[in-house]
Amino acid sequence: MYKSFKTFIRKVINKILHLFGLLTYQLRQKPDFLIIGAQKGGTSSLFFYLKFHPQIQRPIKKEIHYFNLFFDRGEGWYLAHFPFRSTKHLTGEASPDYLFHPDSPERIHSFNPNMKFILLLRDPIERAYSAYQMNKRMGIDTRETFEDAIQYEFDNREQYAKTYNYEKHNFFYLERGLYAQQIARWTKVFDKNKFLVIKSSDFFSNTNDVLKHVYNFLDIEVKLPPTLKPMNVGKYPPISSKIRENLESYYSNDAIELKKNWQIEF
């Protein structure tokens, strides 16, 4: 009850702040960086840690989803989420669905061709399983087993291969882990030096060192956060070794490209 009340109050405050932002959007700062993915890769933790940095001002909320879900609401609606313009601070948001959305790269380039991007990439099999468990916990996915979920994806992926459908692709757990394939869409639009690609396991095992790389990438001073508590950590049984073995071949070609182009290996 207490948690629900806090969530309600936070949503009310954010709504008020956004209404004020709409009145002053022309004075608002465009984001300098975006954390674009991957979903369930640690984006909430990284966004939380960055809030402590004195040279970063955060938007009203972490995930705005402008470039994938709400693009038709216009730039003013988007800018209304951000702080007032400043030469002393950076700002940015974290919508992990951006990486997966096919139109996001072009939309973002038109908005800010100098944008910087941070990616946290988790073992794709673990990522898929974690996403399923999250949706099941939230009551979004009512299928009984992970096997049922991925079988649905195998049966329907050709049908939705050419046209993006958020309602359907939200339950495509495996496809979201084809990281090299997705990043290739982005590097057709932005230079490779605009991307910082981080292995999620490195982020959580060597958080301070990885944060230093992030600060260097954003060209800000090293100011480590006072806490390194991971955010949004779910608890569920481990994935079976049989499922993992069956899915390794699905990711094999993408894994080769990811290691070749970004030196990331799971």
Q: How many other CB atoms are there within 10 angstroms of residue 261's CB atom?
A: 15
Mean pLDDT of 243-266: 96
Fold (CATH) for 29-262: Rossmann fold (3.40.50)
Mean pLDDT of 161-177: 78
Mean pLDDT of 175-199: 97
Q: Is the dihedral of CA 33, 38, 39, 45 positive or negative?
A: negative
pLDDT of residue 251: 97
Which helix (H) or strand (E) segment holds residue 130: the answer is helix 124-137
When the pLDDT of each residue in the chain is averaged and rounded to a whole number, the result is 93
**Is pLDDT at 245 greater than 80 in this prediction?**
yes
Question: Domain map of the chain by residue range?
Answer: 29-262
Mean pLDDT of 28-38: 97
Q: How many other CB atoms are there within 10 angstroms of residue 126's CB atom?
A: 18
User: pTM of this prediction?
Assistant: 0.94
Which helix (H) or strand (E) segment holds residue 87: the answer is none
pLDDT 10s digits, 48-96 = 999 999 999 999 999 999 999 999 999 999 999 999 998 899 999 999 9
**Is pLDDT at 193 greater than 70 in this prediction?**
yes
